[in-house]
Amino acid sequence: MDFIKEFLFGDGIAHSIFTLAVVIAIGTLLGRIKIGGIAFGATWILFIGIVASYFGMTLNLDTLNFIRDLGLILFVFAIGLQIGPTFFASLRQEGAVQVWLSVLAMLLSAVLAYILFVCTDIPIQTVVGVMNGSVGNTPAVGAAQQTYYDITGVYDNSIPLGYAITFPVGMVAVIIAFILLRAILRIDITKEQQQSLTNTASAVEKTEKQIDNKNEECKKSSKPNIFTLFFGIAIGVFVGSIPLIETPQPIRLGMAAGSMFVAILIGHFGKRWNIVTNTTLSVNLMLRDIGLAMFLAAIGLASGSGFIEAVVNGGYLWLAYSIIIAIVPLLVVGIYARLRFKMNFFTIMGMLSGCMTNSVALNYANSLSGNDTASVSYAMIYPLAVLLRVIIAQAMILMFV
């Protein structure tokens, strides 16, 4: 019995691997179940992680942070490598419109958070934590906490607590917003798929002519080039760690955004640098799925221990606020993008997933589209969203504390 107890609830390497594997396996299995015709897919891994953590099956915090960051890096790097060849052509087509619509959505989130601060008795630093949990932006939480400390000399745990409680709900809320948009706009998925393929056909045709024989051979081969993967991640992590703006807490692109940026460049310019960049689609999808599963499992296992207690002690209001902050801007911007610009629904989902820095929502969009339309928009907006949300979080702390 002592062995079983130690194995299930201890802190050894075997326990860590076992817990991570069980959470991902059960979550993946449940992800196949459709509720009302809708499958939430990998999101179930997050929920199973929360449950496991609540009952004491968790991992060392440093281990969880490592798994979370590595998983997210693998996910975004695989996306960047896949869409790199067509990224810049798509950016020229409607990139500016997507950028300012994303900025509008982010500003609407900040306005809603400020309204909640004015209308409730919740301190601004807690509101900032809830806001960034709603949009899943970890760098902004760290920046806000450091800025608050620089002003007051005190670390306020309500910032990361608000983030931890609302993060799981915020991830699911974005998918709910997409479901609502689909119903409100009466989207025909089949027609959207046909339109997205038509819109990207010319860009794909031009790109295919640029792919050399070496990349074609790799594309047909079942053996991936792991040098490109690890070399690209190393450079991406370095780029993401460079301070871009010197504020009380230096603003960085972040490891995930840096890795995606480098992956896009390698995917697009790799042949000029004599780097084999193409892999089979199955290898790319495997990297995405493994990375996303690691990311979600780590988030769930880190959130469950204090989740129920915090919700019972008043955190349930934070959950309600996070749903408002997450869903309302997406509905407003999504409807406007569709009616004003006739934007493809998958493009809208990718754009909004990027501005919410929500990899789970992107995975949901990709499962509907069957192509990389959403991923291209996500990759375009994601780095901007990371930077702008950090600036917004710090600005709110500086102005209202």
Q: Report yes or no: 378 and 79 within 8 Å, Cβ to Cβ.
A: yes
> Angle at which helices 124-134 and 61-119 pack, to 10 degrees?
120
Buried b (16+ CB within 10 A) or exposed e, 13-35: eebbeebbebbbebbbebbeeee
First vs last Cα of the chain: how many Å apart?
52
Q: Count the Cβ atoms, other than its own, within 10 Å of residue 214.
A: 16
Which of 73, 102, 101 is closest to 257 using CA atoms? 73
C-alpha 255/C-alpha 261 separation (Å) is 10
Return the amino acid letter for 57. Answer: M
pLDDT value, residue 290: 93
pLDDT value, residue 201: 53
pLDDT value, residue 4: 79
C-alpha 50/C-alpha 152 separation (Å) is 33
Neighbouring C-alpha atoms within 13 Å toward the C-beta of 279: 25
> What number of helices (H) and strands (E) belong to the chain?
16, 2
Q: Report yes or no: 228 and 274 within 8 Å, Cβ to Cβ.
A: no
Q: Report yes or no: 27 and 293 within 8 Å, Cβ to Cβ.
A: yes
pLDDT tens-place values along the chain, 401 residues long: 677 777 777 778 888 899 999 999 999 998 888 766 566 677 788 788 888 888 888 888 889 889 988 988 898 888 788 777 767 766 666 688 999 999 999 999 999 999 999 999 889 999 999 999 898 777 687 678 777 877 887 877 678 778 878 887 888 899 999 999 999 999 999 999 888 777 655 544 544 444 444 445 444 445 667 888 899 999 999 998 888 777 666 767 778 778 888 888 888 787 777 776 666 677 888 888 899 899 888 878 877 766 677 777 767 888 899 999 999 999 999 999 999 999 999 999 999 999 998 888 988 898 888 888 898 899 889 878 877 888 898 889 989 98
> Phi/psi class of residue 247: alpha, beta or left (left: φ > 0; alpha: ψ in -120 to 50)?
beta
Q: Which two tokens stand for residue 61?
A: 């915090």
Q: Count the Cβ atoms, other than its own, within 10 Å of residue 36.
A: 6
3 state DSSP class of 211: coil
pLDDT value, residue 212: 46
Q: Count the Cβ atoms, other than its own, within 10 Å of residue 285.
A: 14
C-alpha 258/C-alpha 147 separation (Å) is 23
> Angle at which helices 61-119 and 281-310 pack, to 10 degrees?
60
Q: How do the domains of the chain map onto residue ranges?
A: 66-400
C-alpha 273/C-alpha 254 separation (Å) is 25
C-alpha 254/C-alpha 143 separation (Å) is 12
